[in-house]
């Protein structure tokens, strides 16, 4: 993201970045396509954190 802002080009135009891939996934989902969620990783919580929040 920072490199794109330094160049003056939109980050979504660089197909190699995570930002561009995420944006294309959102647009595709909006247009009705089924896309896998790539960047969602659930944090594993320990036993005590599950009990006490």
CA distance 6 to 4: 5
CA distance 29 to 32: 5
pTM (two decimals)? 0.56
pLDDT at 30: 94
> 1-53, pLDDT tens digit by residue?
555 556 777 777 878 888 888 889 999 999 999 988 887 777 788 888 878 87
Per-domain boundaries in the chain: 1-36
Task: Quickly list DSSP for 7-47.
Answer: HTS-GGG-TTSHHHHHHHHHHHHHTT------S--PPPPPH
pLDDT at 41: 79
């Amino acid at each position: 993201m920072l490199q794109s802002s330094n160049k003056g080009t939109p980050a979504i135009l660089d197909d190699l970045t995570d930002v561009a891939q995420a944006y294309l996934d959102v647009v595709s989902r909006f247009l009705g396509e089924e896309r896998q969620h790539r960047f969602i990783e659930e944090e594993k919580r320990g036993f005590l954190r599950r009990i006490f929040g």
